[in-house]
Amino acid sequence: MKKYAYFPGCSLEKMASSYHKSALETTEVFDIELQELDDWNCCGATTYFHVDAILAHTLVARNLAMAEKEGLDLVAPCSACYKNAYFTNDYIKNDPDLKEHINFALEEDDLQFNAEIEVFHLIDIFANDVGPDLIKEKVNNPLKGLIIAPYYGCQIVRPRKNGEEVENPQFFEDIISAMGAEPAYFPERLRCCGGSLIMTNRVAALNMVRILLQSAEKNGAHVIATACPLCQVNLECYQEQVNEEFGTDFKLPILYFTQLLGLALGISPKKLGIGIELVSATPVFSKLLPKEAN
Amino acid sequence: MALKPSFSDEISNLLYAAHGNPINACIQCGTCSGTCPVANYMDQTPRRLIGMINADLKEDVLDCNTYWFCASCYHCTVRCPADIDIAGVMYAVKRYSIWNKTYSEDLVGPKFSEAFVKTIVRTGRSYEPILAPTYMFHFGPKDFFHEAVTASKMMLKGRIPVLPPRIKRLENFKNMIRKIIPLGESS
Ligand code: SF4
Ligand code: SF4
């Protein structure tokens, strides 16, 4: 059994509870334990860095330090949390002054951080630790006939970490194929969803959502898979506002990749948090029904 | 005799720990503007903003909405042939304008950022319903209505918490923050 410190982040508590549930259900199948950090704090999403960079790094470092204390690497399911955790860890590893400054503050909570851990996004765990071959082996309910658009979004791949592929990643497509589904050709898969602008520049954000929905729909996707709660909410909960603003008629389900993977692994929809969508996931299920039942 | 640093130096100094080259390495190729998904909504494109910073056009830079409309998507950053962290520059200008209170009043971005930070400092967690009033009252009636409808639908599905979450070791947490920045009484 492999074990990680798990930092769910604020959105997974309620807004994205289905991501939380399905992450725990699916990792368990592969004998991976996600141990939630005790008393984690908000990492500031992207907003903290608007105000003070050192403070932002300190808040992130508190969570990292708690993982290090347990002797575990950290996994974050939210792309914004992941980016923060990855880069704070990286900066502290490379900047002794920053490390000292932050540790001076962490003392107040009896913590210390030596930057001796690694940080992963939840999807890294499936793409690398588990890998498509093992996924395929465990799939007992292949999602045959379902066309899934892999939405990478921004922060899983950007900024570039360790020289990784940023223009043409394939790991999401590989996971989708391993589920027995077909990855949609989705040229906008790396384009920003505008999530961080929805409160501050609504029309720009809605237009960014529109472009993604249009691209997925045009290419025959039945559902968009996401790996980030902010992208999920933006694409799903604002779909109706997009329709009103632009006179469109999108009804495209947006599910977490862990929910789709869970279905392929034969886990019940309820355990995967399916049923609290604002855009119904029914079209996904009707595609999966045996043809004669349609 | 100490010279007052130029605006472009001030911004460069705020690019804390950013990887990549200094802003003056910009060759004005426009890759960033061509990549940016928000460029159409910006007063000045990212390329122009970088050029304006290098030309020390401080007032014009701070006056425009470009850096507040940046979605921090890092697409420009990974494509810039001069290896400039443009998204990092946008953050730096945001910080500069918040510290100096120079952003234009009709923008929601800075108010949202400040309210967000205050909530986290007070509770250790973020909480949408507390944040909502800070930006919702800056919306026009139509946007306000849309936002309220979306929020109540999410509430009905149990996707918005009723009570604000708090961390357990809150006092330690606040003391930790005090070591980095002074906290106002209301925090
Ligand atoms: S992509 Fe880089 S070099 Fe080209 S204009 Fe933008 S900042 Fe300058
Ligand atoms: S990081 Fe900002 S400026 Fe750069 S492409 Fe994205 S939205 Fe545009």
Q: Look at residue A131 and tell me if it is in a domain.
A: no
- Let me know whether A103 and A243 are in one domain: no
Nearest residue to A135 via CA among A184, A195, A178, A73: A178
Q: pLDDT-derived band of residue B135, with 50, 70 and 90 as boundaries? A: very low
Domain count within chain A:
2
Q: Look at residue A133 and tell me if it is in a domain.
A: no
DSSP line for A121-184: EHHHIIIIIIHHHHHHHH-SS--TT-EEEE---STTT-S--TT---SS--HHHHHHHHTT-EEP
Q: pLDDT-derived band of residue B123, with 50, 70 and 90 as boundaries? A: confident
Q: Look at residue A160 and tell me if it is in a domain.
A: yes
Position B111 pLDDT exceeds 70: no
Last residue of a domain, one of A89, A121, A153: A121
Higher pLDDT, B187 or A27: A27
CB A69 within 8 A of CB A38: no
Q: What is the mean pLDDT of residues A233-256?
A: 93
- Let me know whether A111 and A158 are in one domain: no
Size of interface A-B (CB pairs under 8 A): 182
Atom from ligand 1 closest to the CA of residue B76: 1
- Let me know whether A174 and A116 are in one domain: no
Q: What is the mean pLDDT of residues A101-105?
A: 92
Token pair belonging to B62? 């701070």
Q: Look at residue A263 and tell me if it is in a domain.
A: yes
Nearest residue to B117 via CA among A232, A50, A237, A258: A50
Mean pLDDT for chain B overall = 78
- Let me know whether A244 and A150 are in one domain: yes
Q: Look at residue A132 and tell me if it is in a domain.
A: no
Contacts of B165 in chain A (CB under 8 A): 10, 13
Give B57 to chain A, closest Cα distance, Å: 21
- Weakest mean pLDDT among A18-32, A42-56, A140-154: A42-56
- Let me know whether A268 and A195 are in one domain: yes
- Let me know whether A146 and A288 are in one domain: yes
Residue B87 in contact with ligand 2 by CB distance below 6 A: yes
CB B46 within 8 A of CB B69: no
Q: pLDDT-derived band of residue A285, with 50, 70 and 90 as boundaries? A: confident
Q: Is the pTM of this model over 0.90?
A: no
For A18, the domain range is: 2-121
- Let me know whether A154 and A277 are in one domain: yes
Contacts of B178 in chain A (CB under 8 A): 108
What is the A74 CA–ligand 1 centroid distance (Å)?
34
- Let me know whether A289 and A241 are in one domain: yes
Phi/psi at A206 (nearest 5 deg)?
-65, -35
Give A198 to chain B, closest Cα distance, Å: 10
Q: pLDDT-derived band of residue B163, with 50, 70 and 90 as boundaries? A: low
Position A292 pLDDT exceeds 50: no
pLDDT value for B75:
95
Query: Cis bond leading into B37, ω under 30°?
Result: no
Contacts of A158 in chain B (CB under 8 A): 73-75, 77-78
- Let me know whether A93 and A196 are in one domain: no
Residue B52 in contact with ligand 1 by CB distance below 6 A: no
Q: What is the mean pLDDT of residues A211-231?
A: 95
Is A276 exposed, middle or buried (CB count within 10 Å of its CB: 0-12, 13-18, 19+)?
A: middle
Here the CATH number for the domain that contains residue A108 is 1.20.1050.140
- Let me know whether A70 and A178 are in one domain: no
Here the CATH number for the domain that contains residue A192 is 3.40.50.11810
